[in-house]
Amino acid sequence: MNAIDVRALTVRVGSKRLLDDVSFSVAQGETIAVIGPNGAGKSTLLRALSGELAPSGGSIHLKGRAPQAWPPRELALRRAVLSQHVTVTFPFTVAEVVRMGAGERRGAAIDTMAEAALAAVDLDGFQERIINTLSGGEQQRVHFARVMLQLACGEEASGPGILLLDEPTASLDLRHQLDLVTVARQCAARGTTTIAIVHDLNLAALLAERVIVLSRGCVAADGPPVETINDETLARVFGVASAVGRVPEQAMPFVLPHRAERHGR
């Protein structure tokens, strides 16, 4: 059984169709990057996969069931979501925010797991800091640690889970972007399925074994980075002239953009 099955997915908001006939499957333990221009439907896709948005047509199955068919607590044990924008208005400590990932569970074991999650995102010693006094990148890493704790708790109870990330590196410096890639690979090694929306195409190629390209709500390409990140796709989908090279001795593309092209030219 696949971790995720999407069939002819359509999502409408009012009269606007945000996703149109999107289909793909994801094997357990696979890591996928979703790329595409602004407004292509990437965040809508993630919200639909998480169960936040119900399909207008077609179907989504996470581990064999529609997200809406899972009781909320059971769904939370099987998939964890890092949203693009997370705001904490109350003066919680970093440790308190991370422990939210454990739900109602508390105790020494959870404290140890929370500390491990913070160490994984390079926030050792931040436990008693107030989250809204941190930089944007530090707050993003706190929330990533929270999601990792949720995932770890779920995997203890239900086996390998699903990790959904919406632009997880947007606020991060280069070192911490690479740290996130390392953590994602560690998750994949233990069977976690990961889908991440990524704007940096070079990072997408480094992170994922497979890339789904969205354009105007449809799948424009789907395959390994070496097949999906190329001059033709970037010109057709993003409207940019670029030179896509290859990392020596690796089947990994890298992108050097030259200029934007106006559609229709």
Tell me, yes or no, whether 138 lies in a domain: yes
Tell me, yes or no, whether 213 lies in a domain: yes
pLDDT at 265: 39
pLDDT at 198: 95
- pLDDT, one tens digit per residue, over 155-167 is 988 899 999 999 9
Which domain, by its residues, includes 33?
4-260
Tokens of 158: 């239900």
Tell me, yes or no, whether 265 lies in a domain: no
- In order, the DSSP letters of 200-215 are -HHHHHHH-SEEEEEE
pLDDT-derived band at 130 (thresholds 50, 70, 90) equals very high
More confident residue, 254 or 184: 184
Measured at the alpha carbon of residue 32, what is the angle toward residues 68 and 168, in degrees to the nearest 5? 80
Tell me, yes or no, whether 238 lies in a domain: yes
Tell me, yes or no, whether 214 lies in a domain: yes
Tell me, yes or no, whether 188 lies in a domain: yes
CATH code for the domain of 58: 3.40.50.300
Q: Is the pTM of this model over 0.85?
A: yes
Total domain count, the chain? 1
Tell me, yes or no, whether 87 lies in a domain: yes
Tell me, yes or no, whether 152 lies in a domain: yes
Mean pLDDT of the chain: 92
